[in-house]
């Protein structure tokens, strides 16, 4: 949108629109959150979600992708709108509404150097410190959403490497649901959907015997979706 674009709504109020990212990761059997030290006043230096103001000429979703790439070096990350936070006095800096988005990233992929350069850190979800503004609320809301959503859509796979084992997948779901699951029933349920491709390789990093690696079958999943199928885990 160029500066000379006609403004039809001149008598109305304008405000800032920001986007904040709740970045989830999964490492060592635990759900993690990526946060960093706020770089602008007010509350400069306090722990905060990663965010940015939305520019006049960019989509809100683009702004979120931009900031995520800036901090992690990753592109094409799973990201979805959580909700807006629009209370009038939520930001003491000036009237600003924020569109929160949650992202699921594969912790093995991100650019560690870049992340460190931005003063960002991974926190265990159970040990998240106080964050600025309403960011703790955003995190709580995002976790709720993740719990609900992971059940009916195969988004959990976004947190795992391309190739993963069934026990790893189970660990992930146990971390999300905060509940232990029966290994036999879990395996049965997951495999019954026919959206996992079993590979020849094994991952031996967590047992002598090794566990077979699987890949998520996006194509088959898309086809099944067309025919009115419903994914569900647990």
Partner DNA sequence: ACAAAAGTGTTTTTTGTACACCCATGG
Partner DNA sequence: CCATGGGTGTACAAAAAACACTTTTGT
| Contact set with DNA (CB under 7 A) | 165-167, 182-185, 187-189, 202, 204, 206-212, 232, 234
Closest approach, Cβ 52 to DNA, in A, equals 40
**H or E, element range at 219:** helix 218-226
What would you report as the CA-atom Rg of the chain, rounded to the nearest whole angstrom?
Answer: 20
In whole angstroms, give the CA distance from residue 120 to residue 117: 8
143: three-class secondary structure by DSSP: helix
Write down the least CB distance from residue 95 to a second copy, Å: 5
How far is 103 from 77, CA to CA, in rounded Å?
Answer: 7
Query: Sign of dihedral through CA atoms 49, 50, 56, 61?
Result: negative
User: 116 or 180, CB closer to DNA?
Assistant: 180
The option from a second copy, DNA, none interacting with 93 (CB < 5 to 8 A, set by class) reads a second copy
Nearer to DNA, 19 or 165 (CB): 165
Least distance (Å) between residue 146 CB and DNA: 20
Considering the rule CB under 8 A, would residue 59 count as an interface residue with a second copy?
yes
Other Cβ atoms less than 10 A from the Cβ of 20: the count is 27
Residue number with CB closer to DNA (71 or 196): 196
| Chain centre to alpha carbon of residue 29 | 16
* Exposed e or buried b per residue across 154-181, where buried means at least 16 C-beta atoms within 10 angstroms of its C-beta: bbbbbbbbeebbbebbbbbbebbeeeeb
Q: How far is the CB of 219 from DNA (least distance, A)?
A: 23
Assess 94 for contact with a second copy (CB under 8 A). yes
Q: Could you tell which of a second copy, DNA, none binds residue 42, using a CB distance below 5 to 8 A set by kind? A: a second copy
Q: Which residue has the tokens 């931005």?
A: 118
Minimum CB separation from DNA for residue 201, in Å? 11
Task: List the single partner that 223 binds among DNA, a second copy, none, CB under 5 to 8 Å by kind.
Answer: none
Q: For the chain, what's the residue count? A: 234
Interacting residues toward a second copy by CB under 8 A: 1, 5-9, 12-17, 40-42, 53-62, 81, 83-84, 86-89, 93-97, 99
């Amino acid at each position: 949108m160029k500066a000379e674009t006609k403004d039809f709504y001149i008598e109305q109020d304008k405000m800032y629109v920001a986007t904040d990212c709740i970045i989830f990761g999964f490492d060592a059997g635990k759900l993690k959150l990526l946060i960093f030290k706020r770089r602008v006043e007010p509350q400069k230096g306090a722990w905060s979600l990663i965010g940015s103001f939305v520019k006049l000429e960019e989509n809100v979703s683009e702004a979120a992708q931009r900031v995520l790439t800036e901090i992690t070096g990753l592109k094409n990350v799973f990201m979805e709108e959580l909700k807006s936070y629009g209370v009038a006095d939520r930001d003491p800096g000036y009237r600003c509404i924020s569109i929160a988005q949650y992202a699921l990233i594969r912790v093995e992929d991100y650019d560690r150097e870049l992340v460190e350069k931005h003063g960002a850190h991974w926190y265990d979800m159970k040990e998240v410190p106080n964050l600025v503004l309403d960011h703790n609320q955003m995190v709580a809301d995002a976790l709720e959403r993740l719990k609900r959503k992971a059940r009916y859509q195969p988004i959990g796979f976004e947190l795992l490497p391309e190739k993963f084992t069934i026990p790893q997948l189970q660990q992930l779901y146990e971390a999300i649901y905060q509940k232990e699951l029966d290994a036999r029933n879990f395996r049965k349920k997951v495999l019954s959907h026919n959206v996992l491709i079993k590979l020849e390789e094994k991952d031996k990093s967590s047992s002598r015997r090794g566990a077979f690696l699987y890949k998520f079958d996006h194509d088959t999943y898309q086809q099944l979706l067309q025919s009115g199928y419903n994914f569900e885990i647990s």
